Structure 1
Amino acid sequence: MIDTSTPTATERAHAPRMGRSAWGRIAICIVLALPAVVFRVTGFAPNAVVDLLVFGGAVVAASFLLAWAAEAAQKDISGALAIAILALIAVLPEYAVDLYYAFRSGYDPAYEQFAAANMTGSNRLLLGFGWPLVVILSLLVARRSVKAGSLPASATKVLQLETSSRLDIGFLALLAVVAFLIPLMGSIPMWFGFVLLAAFVAYLWRASKVSDGDDEDEEMVGMAGNIASMPTRARRWTIVALFVVAAAVILSSAEPFAEALVASGSALGIDSYFLVQWLAPLATEAPEFIVAALFALRGMGGAAIGTLIASKANQWSLLVGSLPIAHVLGGGTTGGLPLDGRQVEEFMLTASQTVLGVAIIIALRFHRWSAIALVALFAVQFVVTDTSGRWVLSVVHLVAALVVFWVHRSSILPTLAAPFRRAGAAAVRT
């Protein structure tokens, strides 16, 4: 719900204001983004590698502004909807780059591979690296509380997820199953894209209907905390300004950054597919990882992993659903975005990894050994790069998922039912 309370004159007089150091960080991000704006306006493009550094730096800087503003906005938008919106906004830089590739592929078939490459890379990076990072940090932080006697010893081995994550996990589970239709069809048809977009709308609607009456305001950290501490009117204007500036930089930098990635591969003798699949997601998702890590370091591991789970659901619904539409708008056929053999393998590997991730968290517990296993399996894919290796790794994911699902079988039905449960039920997302 939106916070509409109006502060009194006394409250306004004593309200904390954002310090110089916080404004300095915003200024640094703007300065880092300025060269990209100059390049874009003047058309100056010395070479692909310089373009990559300039526009990539601008995307990262704007991503930080976006992440700070999105997190601070939770001060005015509370509950489950805030988490869903935060997760959506945090991945907008990735969406801008990926949708450009999909749009370009509509009139340049050589770019068809890059749309799927960027999506599958960011998706696997989020689960294979982001999730374990948050868990390990949370468990390390929990050691202090265990020593102080405020938490049981098990808190250093297992991260307990918040019950509010049940809805996100339920949607992600359904989307993971549906995702296997993509490699089976060998493409992402237009009709399938609209189905995924409808699923995203349903996800946001259900999140907005979940009661949060018993939720406590979560402590904001870092820059988001500085912005949130401002007086109401100044805070809202600051958040809007950050959104506008960040969006302008990202939209103006997405195309040249995407083009520079492809061109830099040829210039440096590196596979362009590899750069698009892994370097772009590292740039666009770095702020999201940092925000989640800050939550974990402040002992808010449940909220941190909850945000990353919501981001994963956003990727499988809104992002994947938008790809065929962008492809058609760029001049492609109404059949949707075609996939070659490599893309089919990549989607299969990504979907199987998602199923394993759902199996691990379906009981609302994330064990440290599960985090280590996810990182290990994520690292293996950089060694196993051939067709047979990707299929074998996909099978390993699915077999491991079946075993974990059996262990957590009592949680399967409640999780799958969570997206369809009547709003306002007594047990919120349980």
Structure 2
Amino acid sequence: MTDTLSNPTPRTASTPTAGASRMGRSAWGRVAICVVLAVPAVVFRLTGFAPNPVVDLLVFGGAVVAASFLLAWAAEAAQKDIAGALAIAILALIAVLPEYAVDLFYAFRSGSDPAFEQFAAANMTGSNRLLLGFGWPLVVVISLLVARRYVRAGSLPASATKVLQLEQSSRLDIGFLALLAVVAFLIPLLGSIPLWFGFVLLAAFVAYLWRASKVADGDDDEEEMVGMAGNIASMPTRARRWTIVALFVVAAAVILSSAEPFAEALVSSGSALGIDSYFLVQWLAPLATEAPEFIVAALFALRGMGGAAIGTLIASKVNQWSLLVGSLPIAHVLGGGTTGGLPLDGRQVEEFMLTASQTVLGVAIIIALRFHRWSAIALVALFAVQFVVTDTSGRWVLSIVHLVAAVVVFWINRRDIAPTLAAPFRRQPAVERG
């Protein structure tokens, strides 16, 4: 994975040294901290101890965040054994598993309790807009700030501090995201997420993973890893793989045991604290579950790997619109709901419309494989507006603003529309290797 910013100087393959053949005390200390934070949640779940909703929220929320870090470290280190665009897709998928666990619980519970129908959609739309409205700009700003030191050193042109160049392999992800963004408008039009539509989205996700596995990276050298991922990646092969598997298993166990009480505590805490439960589910839950994903992407950007950083978040966006949304009606039916799928009320229709329109604008901005700093600022500004404009008319107006801005940007980048839409279907050229 290479681009102007992610490879300002020649690389060499990273080779474990004698002093880096195992994780140091500080690395194991971070793992231990995450385990310690997760232990109270496991104890609460096994004993059934639940003092009050707010305490439950803190305990189980802390466990989910801690487990998310374990997942993120293991997923990043796993790229040592999985190369290319598929690694980015898998990393993005694993990084959002905590969010999936919480959201699917709401969808499953809504099958027997209609009051939870709104929360399933709220969690998905909140996490989706948070990813694009905050995560994407965060990575871009960090990448452009990091580029300054390379510009001063003379290894990058001055333009590198204004525009982040995306990797060529991102064309596939953007193409899938563009198609999914268009299909997403069927949800507000239908007023629900039908079961058949869920299966269509799941098929799109399978197709995306298959196409990502066919994308040739074109570079035999391995990306150098630092931090926790670097510690794990530097271990001998057998020890590294067992460590990664162990982290995955522990993190998954904590998340699966904490997702349900955390989700219920979010709803109950709203009433206890006098805060709208819908607001907590839509924004607090995604902020907790996606924090490690944002940190992983930010670390990529801080290392000068801006293309890989934004590529991970774009892949996460594809995962959300395909796997997550596609799974919601299935979870709803499995929970006892009607075979028609997950119903949406008027508020949810507006939320999906706003989320889909924001996604279209995001695609328009990155379709030319360039992310300008002013585009990042505009996304953050529009994301912030939704917290001020909270009524029905405001959401529709903001959706229209997104779409009008997208049309303008698409016109500017019109030459990139056809190749991007064709990317998911085009055979990738063979890579010459010397």
Normalization by structure 2: what TM-score?
A: 0.95
8 Å contact 2:75–2:91 — kept in the other structure?
yes
Give 1:221 shift. 2.6
1:220 CA displacement: 1.7
Q: Pick closer, same or farther for the CA change 1:332–1:155 going to 2, 3 Å.
A: same
Tell me the distance in 1 between the aligned counterparts of 2:169 and 2:432.
7
Aligned-pair identity in percent equals 91
Q: Deviations over 1:224-270 (max 9, x none)?
A: 11100111000000000000000000000000000000000000000
The 8 Å contact of residues 165 and 307 in structure 2, kept in 1 or not, is answered as yes
Q: CA deviation at 1:2?
A: 20
**SS, match of residue 95 in structure 1:** helix
CA offsets 1:169-199 (integer angstroms, 9 cap, x no match): 0000000000000000000000000000000
1:165/1:429 contact within 8 Å kept: no
Q: Structure 2 CA distance, aligned partners of 1:11 and 1:368?
A: 37
Change (3 A) 1:54 1:113: same
| Root mean square deviation, CA, Å | 3.6
Q: Could you tell me how far apart the structure 1 residues matched to 2:232 and 2:20 are?
A: 12
1:191 to 2:196 alignment: yes
Query: Which consecutive unaligned segments of at least 5 residues does structure 1 have?
Result: none
Matches for 1:226-245 after TM superposition, within 5 Å? 226-245=231-250
C-alpha contact 2:64 2:289 (8 A) present in aligned 1: yes
Counterpart Cα distance in 2 of 1:215 and 1:204: 21
> Deviation string for 1:52-102 (max 9, x for gaps)?
000000000000000000000000011111110000000000000000000
Describe the SS at the equivalent of 1:256.
Answer: helix
1:331 matched to which residue of 2? 336
CA contact (8 A) 1:210 1:428 kept: no
Aligned to 2:433: 429
Q: Cα distance 1:183–1:429, how it changes in 2: closer, same or farther (>3 A)? A: farther
Alignment partner, residue 345 of structure 1: 350
| Equivalent residues of 2:112, 2:335 under 8 A apart | yes
Asked whether the equivalents of residues 83 and 310 of structure 1 are also in contact (C-alpha less than 8 Å), the reply is yes
Q: Structure 1's 137 and 128: CA in aligned 2 closer, same or farther, altered over 3 A?
A: same
Contact 1:193 1:323 in 2 (8 A): yes
Looking at structure 2, the residues matched to 3 and 410 of structure 1 have their Cα atoms a distance apart, in angstroms, of: 21
Runs of 4+ in structure 1 displaced over 4 angstroms? 1-4, 6-15, 426-430
Structure 1 contact 266–272 (Cα < 8 Å) conserved: yes
Contact kept in structure 1, 2:14 and 2:224, CA below 8 Å:
no
- Once the two structures are superposed, residues 313-370 of structure 1 have per-residue CA deviations (whole angstroms, 9 ceiling, x without a partner) of 0000000000000000000000000000000000000000000000000000000000
SS in 1 for 2:424: helix
Which whole-Å deviations, capped at 9, do the CAs of 1:120-168 have from their partners, x for residues lacking one? Answer: 0000000000000000000000011111111000000000000010000
Tell me the SS of whatever aligns to 1:315.
Answer: helix
Number of the residue aligned with 1:3: 3
Are the aligned partners of 1:2 and 1:77 in contact in 2 as well (CA < 8 Å)?
Answer: no
CA contact (8 A) 2:194 2:341 kept: yes
From the superposition, tell whether residues 9 and 261 of structure 1 become closer, same or farther in structure 2 (CA, over 3 Å): closer
**1:429–1:398 CA distance, 2 compared to 1 (3 A):** farther
C-alpha deviations, 1:357-401, integer Å up to 9, x for none?
A: 000000000000000000000000000000000000000000000
CA drift at 1:213: 3.8
Aligned to 1:318: 323
Q: Is the 8 A contact 1:192 1:321 kept in 2?
A: yes
Alpha-carbon shift at residue 428 of structure 1 (Å):
11
TM-superposed deviation, 1:311: 0.2
Superposed CA offset, 1:291-319 (max 9, x none): 10011011110000000000000000000
| 8 Å CA contact 2:297, 2:312 repeated in 1 | yes
Question: How many residue pairs end up in the alignment?
Answer: 426
Deviation at 1:218, TM superposition (A): 1.5
Which residue of 269, 273, 276 corresponds with 2:278?
A: 273
Partner SS, residue 15 of structure 2: helix
Q: Is the 8 A contact 2:216 2:431 kept in 1?
A: no
